[in-house]
Amino acid sequence: MERLYRYFDDAGKELETVLLPIVAKVREEATYTKI
């Protein structure tokens, strides 16, 4: 069971590193389109 939690923790960290730049880029573009 502990291994499963650890797997999800690692997957979550990987997702964060992948998603954070994408979210930042989308937010940037949204700000530009408003102007």
pLDDT at 7: 83
pLDDT value at 30 more than 70: yes
How far does CA 15 lie from the centroid of its chain?
5
Mean pLDDT of 8-16: 88
Rounded Cα gap, residues 17 and 20, in angstroms: 6
pLDDT value at 24 more than 70: yes
